[in-house]
Amino acid sequence: MAATEKRPEIIELARGLKDVPMCEDYERMISGMMYNPTLPQLGEARHRCRGLAADYNNLDTKTVPYDQIADKRLELLRKLVGRAGDGTFIEPPFLPDYGCNVIIGRDCFINWNVTILDTSLVVIGDRVQIGTGVGIFTAGHDTSILSRRNSVEFGHPVFIEDDCWIGGNVVILPGVRIGQGSTIGAGSIVTKDIPPFSVAVGSPCRVRKTIPSAEEEQKDPNNPYRNLVR
């Protein structure tokens, strides 16, 4: 359902992002309130995103040496999204809607053919890995037919916290928060929040088990990963 008032914390987060179309309807949009997506200022932002996404997805890798491709990709990505951390890499094609509403932390890897409908903010933490064919959807529509005839919709933010793994073809719906260190099994549809350090799978996605934190793993002398060197 749509929100009835603005979310100051979401608006304040958006103010720190690059090239957001800040206006009354933009604030309503990212806050989860009903808004009109056909307004020129919002349409121009989506149009800008299409051009930057084309630049990113159509990079001629034959003209870029292999040892420079990660830096070139990150340079293009930082023009496309609101913020991207060092060491993050996205395999094309990457298909955002606004782009400027996407925040990605450092050392993330996102595989090809990921779609992000960032009507509201999508905040991805550090060291997150996302498989192929994933859809992250913040956009929502009321079941009212008149709402569609009048071209109004809403969007709720999505948060994916540090160290998560999102399996291939997962769908993440509006308003979801996936807690730190969680794994979402391939093909799942995430409709509700997932607690930290969970393994969750299914449609709808449900927690199957919990796992130790990285700090707890490091203290376990029998953990096979604790002494690996990157």
Residue whose C-alpha is closest to residue 83's, from 31, 18, 19, 13: 18
Q: Which of 18, 47, 50, 141 is catalytic?
A: 141
The CATH code belonging to domain 8-219 is 2.160.10.10
Judge whether 141 counts as a catalytic residue: yes
Q: pLDDT digits over 128-163, tens only?
A: 999 999 999 999 888 888 888 888 889 999 999 999
Residue 225 confidence (pLDDT): 83
Cβ burial, residue 110 (10 Å; 0-12/13-18/19+): buried
Share of the chain above pLDDT 90, in %: 83
Residue 147 confidence (pLDDT): 82
Those residues of the chain that have pLDDT short of 70 are: 229-230
Distance separating alpha carbons of residues 101 and 108, to the nearest angstrom: 17
Cβ burial, residue 93 (10 Å; 0-12/13-18/19+): middle
Q: What's the pTM?
A: 0.94
Type of residue found at 204: P
Residue 230 confidence (pLDDT): 61
